[in-house]
A = this chain, B = another copy of it.
Amino acid sequence: MLCGMESHDGPLTRLRRGHEELVLDLLRKHGRLSRGELGKLSALSRTTLYDIIGGLLATGAVVASAPGQGPRKRGRPVETLTLNPEAGQAIGIDFARRAVHVAAANVAHEIVGSASESHAGDLSWVDRTDLAQRLVRSLTGGTLEFGALSAIGVGVVGPVADPGGESAHARGVDGLPELLHKRFGAPVLVDNNTRLAALAESVWGAAAGDEDVLYLRLSHGVGGGLVVGGSLHRGAHGLSGEFGHVTVEGAGARCECGGVGCLETVASVGAVLDSYRAAGGRAEDVSALVAALDSGDGTVRDVLRAAGSQVGRVLAAVCNAVGPGVIVIGGELAAAGAALTGPVEEALSAHVLPLSRHRLEVRRATLGEVGGALGGIGLVLRESSLLSRYPTRRSEAQGERPDPEEDL
Do A235 and B324 have beta carbons less than 8 Å apart? Answer: yes
- Asked if A314 lies at the interface with its beta carbon under 8 angstroms from chain B, I say yes
Q: Considering the chains assembled together, what is the distance between the CA atoms of A361 and B44 in angstroms?
A: 48
User: For window 147-168 of chain A, which residues contact chain B by CB distance below 8 Å?
Assistant: 159, 167
Closest Cβ–Cβ distance, residue A158 to chain B (whole Å): 9
A317 touches B235 (CB 8 A): no
Interface pair B359/A323, CB less than 8 Å apart: no
A240 and B317 form a contact (CB under 8 A): no
Copies of the chain in the assembly: 2
Determine if A243 and B320 form an interchain contact, defined as CB atoms under 8 angstroms apart.
yes
Chain B residues near A313: list those with CB within 8 A: 247
Contacting B at CB under 8 A, from A38-79, are: 43-48
Q: Determine if A324 and B236 form an interchain contact, defined as CB atoms under 8 angstroms apart.
A: yes
**In the complex, A25 has a CB within 8 A of chain B:** yes
Of A16-24, A93-101, A289-297, A369-377, the one with at least 4 CB within 8 A of chain B: A16-24
Contacts of A141 in B (CB 8 A): none
- A1-37 CB contact bits vs B (8 Å, 1 = yes)? 0000000000110110011011001000000000000
A11-B22, A11-B25, A15-B22 in contact; A321/B242 too (CB < 8 A)? yes
Judged by a CB distance under 8 angstroms, whether A238 is at the interface is yes
Does A121 make an interface contact (CB < 8 A)? no
19 inter-chain pairs at a CB distance below 8 angstroms, sorted by A residue, are A15-B19, A15-B21, A18-B18, A45-B45, A159-B355, A167-B355, A212-B235, A233-B323, A235-B324, A236-B323, A236-B324, A240-B323, A242-B356, A246-B316, A246-B321, A257-B354, A259-B351, A314-B317, A317-B321
